[in-house]
Amino acid sequence: MNDSQIKNIYLYLVCLVAISFMLYSSVGLVKNIVEYASPQSYQIEEIYLLSEYNRVQEEELSDNITYEQFTDMKKESQKYYEKQEKLRSLKNMISSLTILLVAAGVFLYHRRQIS
């Protein structure tokens, strides 16, 4: 093998790795866009709320809050977790987009070297 063949093999391998990174980050980007648009939501069943409220009251973990206050607190907690889920998805989108752009740059540079 001469030097030009080794150089071409190296360039093609780098291009292959860059393409695999672009595919991986593209899938992650689409996944996170979907998660951002529709975050994981957990519906709180009324029976669960009632049993949880009774448990809290029995263990005296609260200062005698009403059932309505308890359900409001649980719903606020659910909204908080949905907001956190959207924020996590946004951070992951930025990460995937960064990997995609870097891999595309590496691919384009090495592809031009082959030509």
Domain span at 101: 3-114
**Could you report the per-residue pLDDT of 54-107, keeping only the tens digit for each?**
777 676 655 677 778 777 877 888 888 888 999 999 999 999 999 999 999 999
Tell me the C-alpha to C-alpha distance, in Å, between residue 19 and each of 5, 12, 14, 27: 21, 10, 9, 12
Q: CA 19, CA 108: separation in Å to the nearest integer? A: 10
**Could you report the per-residue pLDDT of 33-52, keeping only the tens digit for each?**
999 998 877 666 666 767 77
How many domains does the chain divide into? 1
The two three-digit tokens of residue 106, written as one number: 């590496």
pTM value?
0.73
Q: At a CB cut-off of 8 Å and minimum separation 6, what does 104 contact?
A: 18, 22
